[in-house]
Amino acid sequence: MSESQYKNQKFQNTLRASALFISMLALMLGLGYTLFGFTGMLWAGAFGLITLGMSTRVSSQMVMRFQGGRPLHPHQAPQLARLVQQLAQRANLPATPKLYYVPNNSLNAFATGSKKDPAIAITHGLLSRMDLRGLSGILAHEISHIRNNDLQLKSMVNLFSRYTRFFSLFGQILLFINLPLFFMGEATVSWTAIALLLLAPTLVTLMVQAFSRSREYDADLEAARLTGDPNALADALETLDYYNKGGWLARFQSPRGIKVPTILSSHPEIKDRVKRLRELAPRFVPRFDWASWQPTRWRMV
């Protein structure tokens, strides 16, 4: 993929995420203004920044302990440690992410921390069913989240979501106050303001999900660049989807539940992500020669 193509795609992804982020910020400040005027808007912004600063100081070790993870040392998975180190160097991270092993049979990996204190957790199920090439795509995706500061951005948008639910509570109180005043012909609070307060959680939820989907697409693009092998991540995603749906047993199971619309999902459809990655594949040259890597062995304790 040429540098100009990469920058153009990156710019589009960043522009989309920025527009959503600014919309959420404007909505939160607008809610503060609706309730308490200009002073409320200032307090909403100031309180949000203070809480955000506190929320991003949680150490990666604390998060991993909460998830039941334990450190995965290089001698237990030397090839995995080597892989993470190379990907982190290519991403220009100031610190190599620490690996954690989660004794869970689900197929999952997630990142936490900051650029200075990054960590990536990998479940037992993922290590058991994914080869090193597939893991390279997944790890590159998680490292891309760290590189793009997505973890801090998600903390911020989740904070916006909590604040709007708080503001919505005031909207419900104003609604109960407004109805009797309306029937008595007294002065009432603006119905537009009340409607905005009541609808705010729904609007922010849609924005948060759209923001998250945008960051996933961007992390896929960065992962493809780090490995030079978009098909590695595409194959890994298809494997995750296969096992998460029940593997071969899914063929004998009737569909249950209601499918969640894409607009309400925090992640894009697997098929959409795979399609994008497959289309990117001809533009890249793989950066790993897997034939030179030793057979993978995991030694968990």
**Which residues does the annotation mark as catalytic?**
142
Residue 260 neighbours by CB distance under 10 Å:
10
Q: CA 290 to CA 301: how far, in whole Å?
A: 27
Long-range contacts of range 119-128, CB-CB < 8 Å, 24 or more positions apart?
Answer: 119/60, 119/61, 119/63, 119/64, 120/84, 121/64, 121/67, 121/69, 122/72, 122/80, 124/300, 125/243, 127/77, 127/101, 127/298, 127/300
Reduce the DSSP state of residue 247 to 3 states and report it: helix
Q: CA 181 to CA 186: how far, in whole Å?
A: 5
Dihedral of CA atoms 254, 260, 261, 266 in degrees, nearest 10, equals -140
The residue with tokens 């909590």 is: 162
151 DSSP assignment? H
How far CA 108 is from CA of 65, 120, 242, in Å, comes to 16, 11, 13
Q: Which one-letter amino acid corresponds to residue 122?
A: I
